[in-house]
Chains A and B, each alone.
Chain A
Amino acid sequence: MENRHIFMDGNIIIRDSTPVRSGQESNIQEPSLVSSFGEEGIKGSLKATIFSDTMGNAGDTGIPETLEYKGKIIHLCTPVTLKEKVHWRGQTEVYRKLLAAWISHSPQDLPMNPLLLGPSGIGKTTLAMAVAQSFSRPVFMMNCQGDMEPNDLTVNLSIDSEKNIQYVASPLFTAVYTGGIIILDEFTRLPPHAYASIAPLLDHRRYLEASILPGLRIPAHPEFRIVFTSNYDSYSGIPDYIESRLKPRIILENPPMAELKSIIDANLPSPYYSREFKEKLVEYLEIAKKSSKYREFSPRDAILIGRLAHRLDKIGPGDDEGNFIAALNMTISYV
């Protein structure tokens, strides 16, 4: 990753180093800074550790651990770490829709801010992860909560064991700065006043301001991408000025049975789950789909039913039918 110098409203020293291998520390030469605020924030040589083993080969790109602003150290976030690549099965069209929203062929062609809408367990987050991985950029994730404040989305304060104040960057801030991909999961849980802090990030201005450090304004890295996910139920409560920025809306629906089979096949790996077991599972799911006793089930439910039935079989083997029905009852029955 190349050093980036940000000359907005203050000094930012970037701790960054391409030649360093993951896990090592290195001395980085102080980058030359031109600033309207003078040089009081510039320190001597800096140390950085590059995170490794992240999604999308982030280890190759190198994520800085901290950055310094006017003498204050801001601790950046770690990207999501996954051992295996996330695969998206079926529904290729939604995959392409998300991919299209993130494609940018020139600096003037800004990437869009897609919103994934769909019922729980349909695979919104999985889709976002799968597409994000194809961009070979570090992936960050934020699970939004109702009690989050604007600072939780940018830079917040925390106190360490020695009672020192620390500035901690949110995953969103880190992604904006490092050119990562951020998945804001269930973002409609955010309180209305928290949305305001991300509004300029979602239009042509493309920057993020940390109100806790006045003057700190981070322009989004050209590789920065964002995606929002939400359930249908909670989507109605977001303010208009945010809703108008969340384009395109990509709606996910329950996959047809053939695609569900492929999802089950991928998530219940052989040989632990036998082919016969998976075929039977699909049979029972087809029965459940037609029965009024059971609610509509998502791919997540289907996988859970499979796992549960398999576990029940391990505990009391012999009655396959009983195990499948018990798993269905425990997972998607109206009772």
Chain B
Amino acid sequence: MNISNLHLLTYVPGVAEHAREVNRYIRSRFSRKNFIFAIDLPSGFEETVLSAVKKLPVVSIILDITGRGIPVIPTHAPIEAVRLYLESGMDMHFVDSSLPVRGDIGEWYRFVDIARNIGLERVLGDPKFYGISLSALFGSQYEGEGQKIPSFIHLSSMYRERVHAISPLEMTEYIDSRNRLMAKRVKKLIDSGEEIVFVCNERNALSVLRYLEEKEQVPFDDRLILPTITCRVPGRSIHKLTQEIPYVMYAYEMARNGEFDRFSILKDIFLKARTIELPADIEASIRYSMKLAMTEGQLFPDTYLLAVAARSIVDDSYAKRILDISLYYPFADAGIHECPGLEGYLDYNLQRVSHRTICLKPEDPEQRAFAKKKGMKFPFIFGYYRWVRNGAHIETEKRLLSFIRSLDPFRDGRVGHRPRKFVSGLEWGIDARNTLRGRINRDDALYVRRKRRTSVAAYIIDYGKRANTKFFIDRIIKGIGTAWVEGKTYTISTVVLFPWLECEVTDIFIGLDTNEPFPSSLSVALEYAKKLLIFSDRGENVLCSLGIPRNKYRIYPLREIPSSLLEGYQSFTIVKDNLKYNPLGD
């Protein structure tokens, strides 16, 4: 058969490069020539599709009652072809079928009815349960696997044919019938002698071409045109329509007849999402996203890979901003309700838009500021929750502290002063700084300096036990420790109590190491206290080996603490757990 007047343009659904190729091909070859468009959209849907295309760039989806859909988006090649038809006024034919019926049409109606009520995917997933014989309808068993994205989808069709062997879809009777039907219609158009531009999904193209050569036509009935609804898709759901990045769709729409450079658009996304990120990190994120795409057999990353790269190189907040910009499509309606049936719709090849999930935990800007103020690393890669321990332990803690203070040689150290509202007596002089600060805050009180009467030491109790967790306490006294947790019982391994601590214990307890409870306790304690008062049976050798100067600590054996206090303090139980707030209310 002579098909020299056939121009075949294959596409991967939704990919901007393929829509672009249709646009350029028509504009470069047929600007002054007549031609006929043959598009692989279902015959009988012309009015519906044209009506939706006229509303572009507002995106919508045409869903039939079985749950199959046609996304009306700017980057979908058949939709671009319909737009060109509207602009050029050339002839256009939809050559696909809504349902190419072979055999008993009554059985098809039953299938349609069940699919409408239950959902196409569920019916296809378990046809026996619904009393449907797919082998009778489609001729072979449908295998409901997720969509496998073809590799190198961003290559245009002329290059894809060279680097990528297009494998035809698993040939079910349903697909086969559609392809035969398309071939018959295209053949009829070819016979008219006009130039035919056939826009066809690459999954069906080879099969349709093969059937063009066939002389014998299999009879089928294409009278079954299923009713459809057209839904406008809200901005938040555009990513459910297509594999394409919504921001790329927007960029394509903005420069539809101009230049389209995906790499520049992706770079734009990374740069627009930037706030405080370093240029080197931005560059690394772009590079890494490209490499991730390469490992998946693609030239360019999708939305998911952009977020993954940003998260791996920078942090979750940057990834979240990347995601927000990637999903940006300003022409979509913001306020309309969700389109029913959009979730998990199938295309006419019964393929689903595959989705991947990424869990992001963007940081709180206040937390970052806090970490910066405290000179800590951010983002934190740890978390904590609050609990309330048993009252007996708190009482024991009070008595223990009272006892340790009696042994403390570092009390009343010269650690400065603390402000106090003037009542009588100037104590250690007027605290000018706090008085002025009060005036700014409209507090007319006079502040005087009072000598701090607390210890400069940190108290360390080392029980010498194993630990599997870190904890902090901030009720009676600020303290951090390591413990062995069993159910709701904490058995303390080491604990560091700070009579005076400038920062919060939640800032510092991460510094403990459950593998080395005692050395890490010493290290954290020395960072935040000038002296150490240690109760441990390990002896001084350990401290010497750690290089702690002799004048920095006093060490006592554990037996110095009365056994009732020592044993009573060693373990506590949790009475309220998993509190997200501070039970003290501060």
Using a CB–CB cutoff of 8 Å, the interface residues on chain A facing chain B are 96-97, 99-101, 103, 109, 112, 117, 232-237, 240, 243-244, 247-250, 292-293, 295, 334-335
Residues of A within 8 A of B510 (CB): 236
- Please tell me if the beta carbons of A109 and B487 are within 8 angstroms of each other in the complex: no
A97-B308, A233-B513, A236-B382 known; A248 vs B295 contact (CB < 8 Å): no
- Please tell me if the beta carbons of A112 and B382 are within 8 angstroms of each other in the complex: no
Closest-CB distance, B278 to chain A (whole angstroms) = 8
A112-B284, A236-B377, A248-B288 known; A96 vs B487 contact (CB < 8 Å): no
Which residue on A lies nearest to B305, using beta carbons?
A: A100
Chain B, residues 486-525, CB within 8 Å of chain A (1/0): the string is 1100000000000000000000001101110000000000
- Please tell me if the beta carbons of A248 and B312 are within 8 angstroms of each other in the complex: yes
- Please tell me if the beta carbons of B486 and A335 are within 8 angstroms of each other in the complex: yes
Residues of A within 8 A of B296 (CB): 96
Interface centre among A96, A103, A244, A248 (most CB of B within 10 A): A248
Which residue on A lies nearest to B512, using beta carbons?
A: A233
For the complex, is B292 an interface residue (Cβ under 8 Å from A)? yes
The 6 closest A-B CB pairs, nearest first, are A248-B312, A334-B486, A100-B291, A96-B295, A100-B292, A100-B295
8 A Cβ contacts from B515-572 to A: 515
- Please tell me if the beta carbons of B486 and A233 are within 8 angstroms of each other in the complex: no
- Please tell me if the beta carbons of A232 and B294 are within 8 angstroms of each other in the complex: no
- Please tell me if the beta carbons of A103 and B294 are within 8 angstroms of each other in the complex: yes
Residues of A within 8 A of B514 (CB): 233
Residues of A within 8 A of B487 (CB): 292-293, 334
Which residue on B lies nearest to A96, using beta carbons?
A: B295
For the complex, is B381 an interface residue (Cβ under 8 Å from A)? yes
Partner of B382, one of A100, A109, A232: A232
For the complex, is B313 an interface residue (Cβ under 8 Å from A)? yes
For the complex, is B309 an interface residue (Cβ under 8 Å from A)? yes
Closest-CB distance, B270 to chain A (whole angstroms) = 14
For the complex, is B281 an interface residue (Cβ under 8 Å from A)? yes
8 A Cβ contacts from B290-326 to A: 291-292, 294-296, 308-309, 312-313
**Interface size counted on chain B using CB atoms at 8 A:** 27
Closest-CB distance, A294 to chain B (whole angstroms) = 11
- Please tell me if the beta carbons of B513 and A247 are within 8 angstroms of each other in the complex: no
Partner of B381, one of A99, A101, A232: A232
Which residue on A lies nearest to B312, using beta carbons?
A: A248
In the bound complex, CA of A292 to CA of B488 (Å)? 10
A247-B281, A249-B312, A292-B487 known; A101 vs B513 contact (CB < 8 Å): no
Residues of B within 8 A of A334 (CB): 484-487
- Please tell me if the beta carbons of A248 and B313 are within 8 angstroms of each other in the complex: yes
In the bound complex, CA of A44 to CA of B514 (Å)? 55
In the bound complex, CA of A62 to CA of B235 (Å)? 58
A112-B288, A249-B312, A334-B487 known; A100 vs B294 contact (CB < 8 Å): yes
For the complex, is B355 an interface residue (Cβ under 8 Å from A)? no
A232-B381, A236-B382 known; A100 vs B288 contact (CB < 8 Å): yes
For the complex, is B55 an interface residue (Cβ under 8 Å from A)? no
Closest-CB distance, A97 to chain B (whole angstroms) = 7
Closest-CB distance, B210 to chain A (whole angstroms) = 35
A112-B284, A248-B312 known; A103 vs B291 contact (CB < 8 Å): yes
Interface centre among B281, B291, B308, B382 (most CB of A within 10 A): B291
Using a CB–CB cutoff of 8 Å, the interface residues on chain B facing chain A are 278, 281, 284, 287-288, 291-292, 294-296, 308-309, 312-313, 377, 381-382, 468, 484-487, 510-511, 513-515
Which residue on B lies nearest to A95, using beta carbons?
A: B295
Interface centre among A100, A112, A233 (most CB of B within 10 A): A100
Residues of A within 8 A of B515 (CB): 233
In the bound complex, CA of A99 to CA of B295 (Å)? 7
Partner of A247, one of B292, B312, B468: B312
Which residue on B lies nearest to A247, using beta carbons?
A: B313
In the bound complex, CA of A237 to CA of B284 (Å)? 24
Closest-CB distance, A159 to chain B (whole angstroms) = 25
Which residue on B lies nearest to A232, using beta carbons?
A: B381
- Please tell me if the beta carbons of B381 and A109 are within 8 angstroms of each other in the complex: no
A109-B287, A234-B513 known; A97 vs B486 contact (CB < 8 Å): no
Closest-CB distance, B53 to chain A (whole angstroms) = 37
Residues of B within 8 A of A295 (CB): 468
In the bound complex, CA of A234 to CA of B514 (Å)? 10
Which residue on A lies nearest to B310, using beta carbons?
A: A248
- Please tell me if the beta carbons of B486 and A101 are within 8 angstroms of each other in the complex: no
A96-B292, A97-B312, A249-B312 known; A235 vs B381 contact (CB < 8 Å): yes
- Please tell me if the beta carbons of A101 and B511 are within 8 angstroms of each other in the complex: no
30 residue pairs of the A-B complex, CB under 8 angstroms, read A96-B295, A96-B296, A97-B292, A97-B308, A97-B312, A100-B294, A100-B295, A101-B288, A103-B291, A103-B294, A109-B287, A117-B381, A232-B382, A233-B514, A235-B381, A236-B381, A236-B382, A237-B511, A244-B278, A247-B288, A247-B313, A248-B284, A248-B288, A250-B312, A292-B487, A293-B487, A334-B484, A334-B486, A334-B487, A335-B486
- Please tell me if the beta carbons of A247 and B511 are within 8 angstroms of each other in the complex: no
Closest-CB distance, A207 to chain B (whole angstroms) = 19
In the bound complex, CA of A334 to CA of B489 (Å)? 10
Closest-CB distance, B572 to chain A (whole angstroms) = 16
- Please tell me if the beta carbons of B295 and A247 are within 8 angstroms of each other in the complex: no
Closest-CB distance, A144 to chain B (whole angstroms) = 14
Closest-CB distance, B87 to chain A (whole angstroms) = 40
Residues of A within 8 A of B485 (CB): 334
In the bound complex, CA of A234 to CA of B510 (Å)? 9
Partner of B295, one of A103, A109, A240, A244: A103
Residues of B within 8 A of A247 (CB): 281, 284, 288, 312-313
In the bound complex, CA of A78 to CA of B269 (Å)? 46
In the bound complex, CA of A33 to CA of B377 (Å)? 47
Closest-CB distance, A140 to chain B (whole angstroms) = 23
Residues of A within 8 A of B292 (CB): 96-97, 100
Residues of A within 8 A of B287 (CB): 109, 112
